[in-house]
A and B are shown apart, each in its own frame.
Chain A
C-alpha cells in the first residue's frame, strides 16, 4: 500500500512540475508574440490553472517599448496611494541577470522610491558590486536618457559609508547591495559589541533592549526598514534577508527577474498600495 501512495505522490509532483514549466513557457511565449487576441486566449486558458497557485503574480504581457514610457513612470508613482520608502529586491534564483536587476532598480528610482536594496542569498551581488553598479548606471542612461539621469541621481552605499546620515534629496535614490552577512551575522556582531561593553563594565545587561539593539543595526538614523520586498524566483522563503528589519515588510512574489517588465513591477506596487497595516491594533 505504501508503494501505491509513493507512486501517487510522485505522479502528483511530476504534474505540478509540468504545470510550472508550462506556465513559464507560456509566459515567455506571451512576451514574444505581441498578438493581443492570442494572449487573451492563452490568459483565459491559464487563469483557472493559475488560480491553483494564487501566490504567483498575474503574468502580464509587455506591449510597447519600454523607453517610450519613461515619462509615465514618475506619474505612475504619484498616482499610487502609497509608495514604499524602501524596497528590497530579493533574487531567490540561481543565475542573476545584471541587466534585468539594473532595469528594476532604475524603474524603482523613476517611480520615486528613495531606498532600494538588492539581495541574493549567495552573496553574488556583494562580490560583484562594481559590475552591478556599472550596469545600473548604464541602464539609467538608456532608460531615462541624459536629462532623466541628471534629474534622478543615484547613490551607492557600500559598507564603509553606512553610519553617515543621508539626506535624501527629492529625486535621489540610494541603492544598497546586501548579502546574508548583513542579516544574522550583523545581529551577532552587534551582540558581541554589546557583550564587550558589558565585559568592560561600560554597560549592564539590563541596559540592553530592543531600542539599543535597533540603533546598532540601523544603517543610519534616516534609513527606513524595508516596506516591501519583491521576491523573484521559485523559492518561497526570505533566505536570510535582513531578519531584524523585515518585521512589518510586505512580501510580494514574482515568478522571475529574467525579462521582467515594468508592468510586473508596477502591478506589484499597486498590490502593495492596497495593503492595510493595522500594526497590532
Chain B
C-alpha cells in the first residue's frame, strides 16, 4: 500500500517537474506584434491557472523584486540590435507584471538603470534614456487604463542625474498615479543601493541640521524610513535572471532577509513557469526566513529600548538634582522620552515626504510651463 502511494507520488512529482521544466525551457519567442504598453491585457491559460491556484494555496510573496538582466546577451543570441534587446526586455516586464497580478502579487520593484550603467557607451545610454522617455510618455497616455487597474508607479533613484526632460516625464507619471493603490510598480532608475543608503543618511543629517531630530534618534528603523523605498515593505523575493549570482548594488538594505533566487534564463525569455519556479523557492524558504526576520526585529526593538534608556539616564544625570530617582519615576521618564522621540521622528518624516513631493510637483509645473 505504502509502496503504491510512493510510486504514484513519484510519478506525479516527476510529471509536474517535467511540466515546469519543459515550459521553462521553451523560449517565449518573439511576439508577432508587441504591445508597447505597460499593461499586458490577458489571462492565464488553463494549465497556468491551475498551477497558479496550487501555488496560491501556500504562502505567497507580497513584494517581488526583479533584476532584469540579459537583454544584451539576448540581442546577441538573436542577432538583433542591442536596442531591440532592451525593447523586448521592456515588453517582458509588462507581461511579468500581468503574471504577478494574476498571482496576486501586488508590488513589484525592478532594476531598470543603475548609476554604474552611465559608464556604457554614449549611444547606448542615449538609447536607453530615449526608450525610457517614450515609455513614460506612453504611460501618461494610458492613464485611464492605469486608473482602471489601480497601478501606482514610483521611480526610485537620484533623478537629478537624468536629463531634465526625462525627469519631467517621470515626475508627471509619478504624480498622476500617486493616488492609485491596488498595485505598485517601483522602477529603480539612476539607482544604486549605496547611493540610496548614503542619501538616507544625508536626509537624517538634514533633519538634524533643521532641528527636527537629534543624532540619538538615528536608528535602523529611521534609516529604513529615509530610503527611496520607504513607502514599500521589504521585498519577500528577489529574482535575478541571466545566470549572474550577484546583487549589483540593488536593494542591499531591503533584501537582507529576502529569498534570493538566481535563474539562468535571459530576461527577454522569461516565462510564467520561471516565475512559478521562483515562487516555489520562496515557499520552501518561507518559514526559516520568517523566523530570522522576527529574530532580527526583536533584536532591533531591544536595541532601541536600550538606546532610549541610555538617553534618559544621560538626561537625568544632566538635569537632575543629584538625587537618584525611584524606579517608577525612571519608568515614567523613559515612557515620556520614547513618546517625544516618536513624535519628533514622525514630524521629521512628514517634512521629508513633503520635500520629496515638492521636488516632483516643481518638476511637473516646470514641464507644464515648457
Contacts and interface: CB of A to CB of B under 8 A. Distances in A.
Contacts of A190: 201
Interface stretch (A59-67, A95-103, A170-178, A179-187): A179-187
B340 interface: no
**Interface of chain B, main secondary structure:** helix
Q: Which of B58, B198, B220, B223 has the most CB of A within 10 A?
A: B198
Contact of A247 (B194, B244, B292): B194
Interface stretch (B28-36, B79-87, B116-124, B126-134): B116-124
B359 to A, nearest CB: 16
Interface residues of A, number: 66
A16 B256 contact: no
A244 interface: yes
B192 A247 contact: yes
B117 A280 contact: yes
Interface in B249-271: 249, 252-253, 255-262, 264
B57 A6 contact: yes
Interface residues of B, number: 71
A205 B205 contact: yes
Interface stretch (B94-102, B209-217, B317-325): B209-217
Residue among A188, A208, A212 with most chain B CB within 10 A: A188
A206 interface: yes
A192 B204 CA distance: 9
Contacts of A279: 116, 119
A281 interface: yes
B157 to A, nearest CB: 14
A237 B116 contact: no
A236 B21 contact: no
B56 interface: yes
Interface in A9-38: 9-16, 18-19
Given A2-B57, A214-B194, A275-B245, 10 more contacts: A5-B53, A122-B295, A187-B223, A194-B201, A235-B292, A236-B260, A236-B281, A243-B253, A251-B245, A280-B116
Interface of A: 2, 5-6, 8-16, 18-19, 51-52, 54-55, 121-122, 180, 183-185, 187-188, 190-192, 194-196, 198-199, 203-206, 208-210, 212-214, 234-241, 243-244, 246-252, 275, 277, 279-281
